Amino acid sequence: MAAVEMFEEEIANRQDYPQLRLVRFESAPTLRRSGLPLAQRRAARALMMKRRRRTLVVLALLVGLTILALPGVAFGGVSGGAHSSDLNNNATLAAGVDYVVQPGDTLNAIARMINPADPSRARSALVHELDSTVVVAGEHVQIP
């Protein structure tokens, strides 16, 4: 390695241009870096990234399993009795609810759940909605 050194006293003697002299270093430059070698730092970073990915995958699986473990009624679904969560809490059916006909249900029984005070009006609305006086178990009935 070489360096250029300029001497002030020589500049004062010659006015036209400064004198430059090539100076050689006999010793090699010292490295000032401390710590682990580059290969070890890269290996440690790769291991850290692998751990992070593994942690994120495990976290995603736990969130997925937690969501699957929640009952369907938590998301507005149908519970085990084929009634929505509103029907499990109340004995009356509201307009717009999708009711799944259970074995043994009749049009009159469903009409009594819709309007306990006057089931005849609810029954006529159901007959008009279904275009039939017969309901079949498992059928989805949109409550009018």
Specify if 129 maps to a domain.
Answer: yes
CA 33 and chain centroid, separation? 43
Render pLDDT for 116-126 as a digit per residue (tens, 0 to 9). 888 888 888 88
pTM of the model: 0.37
Residue 31 lies in a domain: no
Q: Which domain holds residue 84?
A: 75-142
Count: domains in the chain: 1
- 75 pLDDT band, cuts 50/70/90, is low
131 pLDDT more than 70: yes
Mean pLDDT score across all residues of the chain? 76
The Cα 47–Cα 134 span in angstroms is 67
**Token duo for residue 4:** 């250029």
pLDDT band at 58 (very low <50, low <70, confident <90, very high): very high
Answer whether residue 7 is part of any domain: no
Residue 42 lies in a domain: no
Please indicate, yes or no, if residue 81 is contained in any of the structural domains: yes
Instruction: In whole angstroms, give the CA distance from residue 100 to residue 141.
Output: 6
Say if residue 139's pLDDT is above 80: yes
Instruction: Give residue-wise pLDDT tens across range 92-110.
Output: 677 777 888 888 888 888 8
Q: Would 100 be classed as within a structural domain?
A: yes
Residue 136 lies in a domain: yes
Count Cβ atoms below 10 Å from residue 86 Cβ, excluding itself.
Answer: 13
Helix axes 119-130, 107-114, angle to 10 degrees: 120
Per-residue pLDDT of 23-33, as tens digits, reads 676 766 666 77
**Residue 6 is assigned to a structural domain of this protein:** no
In the chain, DSSP finds a helix count (H) and a strand count (E) of 5, 4
Q: How far is CA 116 from CA 6, 12, 52, in A?
A: 109, 117, 59
Give the pLDDT score at 132: 81
The predicted structure's pLDDT at residue 144: 76
Q: What is residue 3's predicted lDDT score, i.e. its pLDDT? A: 59
Categorize the per-residue pLDDT at 12 as very low, low, confident or very high, splitting at 50, 70 and 90: low
